[in-house]
Every structure is written in structure tokens, then in C-alpha cells.
């Protein structure tokens, strides 16, 4: 196990990566992280590896400047600053998922917020935030590959649970790893439903209060979904 990486959490994070792939939220790219339980200035994230292939031994402990604790650590993700700067800006956030899940992208490009269409997406509250990378960096390769761009993204996220990234994808945050995985899965589901409902007419979204109540209710149900998601993975190579 890597330097200062708790074994049980490394296993949980490896499972989280594979669940995201199993639900087609990530492909060869995208990543999930969790704040270190013993030190809020550290977080755990896989080294540069496809999510479906992440094993507990691939998990690396990083500081909030994006540097690995272990000088011998393998090559990191270019976009680790998405995670580091959100942890720096949001002490309440314990886990982050970044993906390019397909149904969310039209909303990011149209500058239209995701809004909670059904109870499973109550965490969207009054809607997702929007990140325009051009405002921070002009013409770029679209990747959040520096602390500066990570800070701009974290500012756009604000107190929201989800930020859409124009021309790129989205990032969701949670107060725990399982909750962040749940949110990534249901942000994508909500985007599909929002698109199909808009084709029929003006959607009736959950009210702010309905969103809050259903979000609180669903948080209690996440362990049930998690058990199923792990079961679906079948045999593991770790």
C-alpha cells in the first residue's frame, strides 16, 4: 500500500472507480477521490490509470497542492487539481468525482443547469453550477491541469453539489465517497430524463424543499444501492 494510504479506504476507492465504469459514467478517463480520514490536508486518488483497472495498490495520497506524499509515487492524473482545489475551498466536501458522462455534456455546452427532475436527483437542489474555462484560461486544451484552473473551477462550483464544465464534462461532490458515486450516477440519469422531458414540454422540477427532503431521504438508502453495485462487479482481481 502507498505511503499514508489506509488499506480499507484504498479498497473502497478502487471499488468506487469500478462502479463508475460499470455504470458508464467514466471510460478510460475520469476519476474519483476521497479526503484522507486522518488529515483534511490530504486526499486519496488513483495514479494515472483507467478507472476500471484501478486496484487498491494504485491509490496515492496527495497534498492539496497536488503533489504526491510519496516521492516515488507513479505518474498522477493531469486533472488532480480538480480534486485538490475543491478540497481546499470546501471543508464540507469529503469526496469528488470528475467525469465526461455523455448526457450531461449538452447541458454544459448550452449553459443550461441540471435541475432535479426526480427524487433520486434531489441533491441537485436549485440546479447545477456552470464552469466556463475560457473565463479563467482563455483558449486551453480544456483540461483543469493546474492549481489556477482548479481554483477557478472550485469558485464556479461554489456551494453547489455539481458543476457542469463547458466542452468537457462535470464534477460532483459529496460528504462521503459513496454519496459522491451515487451523485455522479444520478446526475447522468437526471440529464437523460431532463432532455427527454423537455421534448414533451416544460418540465416540472422538484421544489427546493422537495429536493432537500428527497436528498436527505436518499442518503439513507445509499448502502442498499452500494451493495448491489459491488455485487454487479462480479469477481475482482484484488
3-state helix, strand and coil shares in percent for the chain, rounded to the nearest 5: 45, 15, 40
The residues assigned a catalytic role are 79
Residue 60 CB-half CA count within 13 A:
22
**Rounded alpha-carbon distances, angstroms, from residue 52 to 15, 48, 59, 70, 181:** 9, 12, 13, 24, 14
- CA-nearest of 98, 119, 111, 126 to 189 is 119
> DSSP states of 150-167 as a string?
HHHHHHHHTT-SEEEETT
Count of residues making up the chain = 238
Adjacent-strand bridge partners of 99 = 170
- Residue 157 CA to its chain's centroid (Å): 12
- Calpha distance 113→1 (Å, rounded): 40
Kindly state the helix (H) or strand (E) to which residue 174 belongs, with its residue range. Answer: strand 169-174
Residue 52 DSSP code: G
Give the contacts of 24 (CB within 8 A, at least 6 positions apart). Answer: 101, 188
- Calpha distance 175→8 (Å, rounded): 18
Amino acid at each position: 500500500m502507498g505511503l499514508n494510504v489506509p488499506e480499507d479506504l484504498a479498497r473502497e476507492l478502487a471499488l468506487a472507480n469500478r462502479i463508475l465504469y460499470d455504470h458508464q459514467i467514466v471510460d478510460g478517463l475520469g476519476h474519483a477521490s476521497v479526503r484522507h480520514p486522518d488529515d483534511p490536508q490530504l486526499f486519496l486518488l488513483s495514479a494515472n490509470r483507467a478507472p476500471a483497472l484501478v486496484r487498491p495498490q494504485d491509490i496515492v495520497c496527495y497534498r492539496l497542492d497536488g503533489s504526491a506524499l510519496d516521492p516515488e509515487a507513479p505518474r498522477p492524473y493531469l486533472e488532480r487539481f480538480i480534486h485538490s482545489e475543491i478540497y481546499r475551498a470546501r471543508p464540507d466536501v469529503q469526496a469528488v468525482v470528475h467525469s465526461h458522462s455523455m448526457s450531461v455534456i449538452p447541458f454544459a455546452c448550452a449553459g443550461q443547469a441540471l435541475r432535479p427532475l426526480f427524487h433520486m436527483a434531489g441533491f441537485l437542489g436549485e440546479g447545477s453550477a456552470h464552469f466556463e474555462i475560457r473565463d479563467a484560461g482563455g483558449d486551453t486544451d480544456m483540461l483543469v491541469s493546474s492549481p489556477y484552473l482548479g481554483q477557478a473551477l472550485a469558485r464556479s462550483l461554489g456551494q453547489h453539489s455539481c458543476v457542469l464544465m463547458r466542452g468537457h464534462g462535470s464534477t460532483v461532490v459529496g460528504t462521503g465517497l459513496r454519496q459522491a458515486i451515487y451523485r455522479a450516477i444520478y446526475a447522468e440519469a437526471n440529464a437523460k430524463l431532463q432532455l427527454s422531458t423537455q421534448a414533451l414540454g416544460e418540465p416540472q422540477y422538484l421544489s427546493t424543499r422537495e429536493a432537500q427532503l428527497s436528498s436527505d431521504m436518499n442518503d439513507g438508502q445509499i448502502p442498499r444501492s452500494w451493495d448491489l453495485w459491488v455485487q454487479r462487479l462480479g469477481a475482482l482481481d484484488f
